Amino acid sequence: MKLLLEFLLAVFLHPIAFVLCLLNILGRSDLTGLQKVVWILVTLLWGIGPILYVLAGGGRMW
């Protein structure tokens, strides 16, 4: 049951975190176009992409 709950949370929360990261990445003026593309690709990684962006990329979720 716990595994099912974790799976459902990941399915619903990851897309929300991904969209928030995309909005932040696209709105940043301190990044070049290539850096934006790289961060968008990194945030596509299921589960850890948005976490990496917040911790290493100086991004914010909101």
Question: How would you write the pLDDT of the chain (62 residues) with one tens digit per residue?
Answer: 766 776 677 677 778 888 888 898 899 999 899 989 988 888 887 666 666 666 776 665 55
Assigned domain for 62 exists: no
Assigned domain for 31 exists: yes
Assigned domain for 48 exists: yes
Distance between CA 53 and CA 26 in Å, rounded?
13
Domain span at residue 24 reads: 2-56
pTM listed for this prediction: 0.63
pLDDT for the residue numbered 29:
92
Token pair listed for 47? 């589960």
Assigned domain for 61 exists: no
pLDDT for the residue numbered 6:
65
Number of domains in the chain: 1
Assigned domain for 45 exists: yes
Model pLDDT for residues 34-45, shown as the tens digit of each residue:
989 988 888 887
For residue 5, what are the CA distances in angstroms to 2, 8, 23, 57? Answer: 5, 5, 28, 29
CB 10 within 8 A of CB 47: yes
Assigned domain for 46 exists: yes
